[in-house]
Every structure is written in structure tokens, then in C-alpha cells.
Amino acid sequence: MTHFCKLVLILVWGILLATQAIAQDQPRFALVIGNEQYEIGALRNPVNDARSMTASLVQSGFKTKLLENVTAAEFEAGITGFLDGLPAGSIGLFYYAGHAIQRDGRNYLLPFDVKAESADTIIKQSIDAAQVLERFHKSGVDFSIFILDACRNNPFLTDGSEQGRGLASMESDAGETLIGFATQAGEVAYDGAGPNSPYTGALINEIAKPGKDILDVFRSVRRSVRIWTNGRQRPFISASIERQFTFKNASGTVASSVDIGELTLQSVRPVVERIWWDVIQESPVPGDFRNFVNHFPDSKNVDQARNLVIKLEQSDQSVRGIVLANFSVPEDRRSIHGLSAVVTPCDIVAGDPDDPRRISDGVP
């Protein structure tokens, strides 16, 4: 290699490193919205999802605004107020969980006070997702992340004119943009029976991993959700990005600030903890309580969670769909009941933490 070629390679490498550094140092802002208290078609998890996403983004350095169960007017005011406060050249993230519909290839996000009407009337009450994205870039956002966990069935149409399932694909021709969908175009995403929807649950798990590029984050999310739902839900992304971006750098990121109305930054984690516990406290799955202890080791419910793990593992129940009777239990472990009887050190070491069907907690 000539000296000139070496200089060119060094220059290119330096530019790439500088670009990555800029991406990590740019100010980060996020608007998170969760709607669930619909008059019909009420949902279980969007507010849980929005609060969990808020906590995750705050820990990833985003100055985050959280809105819950907003009317059409509040939805519009929230977007406008958020965008008015963004400095040029910032990184902007928009997350929405709730009902949405599509029409003529455009997606519409539904405020919680939407009424059951004809498709025309519903759309007039709703927020055009593509316009929100366009407004992000017009406000000077340099890099946009747009996440829609909003592909549930549409229960609002009264005239039977348009019963389309799920959302339409979206792209952006302005600036660098990644759009994440909870499921593929025209299909339905699931609200979920746990503390979060399958999509948001997988997403906050991946965002928490330091040093992981955003494309790898969404690849892992797709895999986890596909496995968890037996292939019925397959997330996808539309990405027009050139840079590398990590939610957390390899050494971790200091939390930024959060604007969530009456809640304070210190109260975000307890809120998520309370929601999580309320959902799992009747669960027959020991792993649900192990995960709770891992996430909230200082919770007042930790001792109860640990006791429930022991109780459930001694009850010989089926766990995560695994029929324990199908396993051959070694003679030296026959005095142990439940899942502990069949989980070996090898299972633990080989457990992929991204696989929701693992029989142990797994390790990275």
C-alpha cells in the first residue's frame, strides 16, 4: 500500500469516527405518547408501555416528554410544544402506543376520545403520522427515530367501509430517519398480557444494552417478538440512515431530564415497578418473579417475589408452556420439584437472553 493510500484510509477513518462522535454528542429529545382509555376497544398496556419507554429513554440520555390518554387537541398541542422547543441539529424520537388506522397508504394515530363513526369522521379526529414526521424534520431535527407500537385492530368503524388491518408502510425523504413498526404492514400487533406489549418489552430490553447499534437493536427486537408470538407478529423497520447510533455508549450514559407533568424523574421507576408488580403478582411463571427481582432489587415486594419463585417451582406446574413430565429428571435431583429439577448449569450458560422461550434467565 502506498503512503498516499494510507493517508486516505486514515482520513476516511477519522471522518467516520468524528461522525459517530457527533451522533453521540448531539442533544437528544423524545416525545412519548400512550393512549389506552378508549370508550370502545380499550387497551391494557399503552400507558405501561409509554412509561417504561420513558424510563428507558431517560436512562439513554433523552430529554423526554410523556403524554398519557390525550384528546385530539392535547395530541396536537403536545406535538407543537415539543417541536417548538427543539434546537436545530438535535436527535428527535417519537414513540406512540395505542390505536391507529390506515387509509390510502397513510397512517392515523387515534386520540383516546375518538368516537365510533365512519372512516371519514374518524380520520378527521386523528393525527396523520406522516405529517408528524415531516414536522420533525422541518423543525430542524437532524436524525429522527419514529416508533409506532400502534397496529391493533380498529374497533371504531361503524359503516363497514374500511376494515383494513394494521398500518401501512411509511418512508421519509427528509433527513436521516428510522421508522420502527410493531408488526409488518397490514398486520396486527398484540397488546400483550405482561407488563408491556411484546414489541415494547423487547425494545426496552435491547435499548438497555450498551454499545449496540440501532439497526442491531431493531433486528434483535424483531427476532424476540417473532419467537414470542410464534411468528404471528413480525416487526419491521424503514431506515434511511447513514450514521451509526447507539442508545447507550459502551460505558453507559448519564440520565437526562424528563418532563412528565405531575410525575418527577425520581417517580418514573416506582411507577413502572408498581405496574409491573400489579400485572405479574398472580402469574404461575417463576421467571416472571425472577425478572422482577432483577429489575427492582430494592422493591418492598422482593421477598414476596422470591418466595413465590420457590413456591411455584415446588408445585410441578407447567412453566412457559414446558410440560415438566416430558423431562427425564436425574436421580440426584428427584427431590427437587418444578423447573429447578431440570435446569442445569449448561442450560443457564447456553440460555440466549434474547430468546423469550428460554427455560432459564440466560446470560449475554
- Residue 236, in any domain of the structure: yes
Pinpoint the alpha helices (H) of the chain: 3-25, 46-58, 72-84, 119-124, 129-138, 198-207, 214-228, 265-280, 286-295, 302-313, 345-350
User: What DSSP line would sit under 219-264, residue for residue?
Assistant: HHHHHHHHHHTTTS---EEEEE--S--BSS-TT------EEBTTB-
> How many Å apart are CA 364 and CA 360, to the nearest integer?
12
**Claim to verify: residue 238 and residue 316 sit in the same structural domain:** no
**Claim to verify: residue 300 and residue 254 sit in the same structural domain:** no
- Residue 55, in any domain of the structure: yes
CATH code of the domain in which 194 resides: 3.40.50.1460
**Last residue within a domain, chosen from 220, 244, 259:** 259
Q: What is the pLDDT of residue 321?
A: 41
**Claim to verify: residue 50 and residue 194 sit in the same structural domain:** yes
- Residue 364, in any domain of the structure: no
- Residue 179, in any domain of the structure: yes
**Last residue within a domain, chosen from 201, 228, 259:** 259
Please tell me whether the overall predicted TM-score, pTM, comes out greater than 0.75 for this model: no
Beta-bridged to residue 258, according to DSSP, are 64
**Claim to verify: residue 70 and residue 167 sit in the same structural domain:** yes
Q: What is the pLDDT of residue 218?
A: 93
Q: What is the pLDDT of residue 188?
A: 65
**Claim to verify: residue 238 and residue 327 sit in the same structural domain:** no
- Residue 326, in any domain of the structure: yes
**Claim to verify: residue 75 and residue 158 sit in the same structural domain:** yes
Decide: 91 and 26 in contact? Cβ < 8 Å.
yes
Q: What is the pLDDT of residue 294?
A: 74
**Claim to verify: residue 288 and residue 252 sit in the same structural domain:** no
Q: What is the domain count for the chain?
A: 2
- Residue 44, in any domain of the structure: yes
The segments of the chain whose pLDDT lies below 70 read 1-25, 151-174, 185-194, 252-269, 271, 275, 279, 315-364
**Last residue within a domain, chosen from 225, 259, 293:** 259
Q: Hey, what's the cell of 282?
A: 398472580
- Residue 50, in any domain of the structure: yes
> How many Å apart are CA 180 and CA 111, to the nearest integer?
20
**Claim to verify: residue 122 and residue 253 sit in the same structural domain:** yes
**Claim to verify: residue 24 and residue 92 sit in the same structural domain:** yes
For the segment 208-266, what is each residue's pLDDT rounded down to a tens digit?
A: 888 999 999 999 999 888 888 878 888 888 888 888 899 988 775 544 444 544 444 45
CA distances from 182 to 146, 163, 187, 222, 342 (A): 11, 19, 9, 9, 34
Domain ranges, residue 289: 282-350
> How many Å apart are CA 118 and CA 362, to the nearest integer?
49
**Claim to verify: residue 335 and residue 245 sit in the same structural domain:** no
**Claim to verify: residue 66 and residue 201 sit in the same structural domain:** yes
For the segment 163-172, what is each residue's pLDDT rounded down to a tens digit?
A: 555 566 666 6
- Residue 210, in any domain of the structure: yes
**Claim to verify: residue 245 and residue 299 sit in the same structural domain:** no
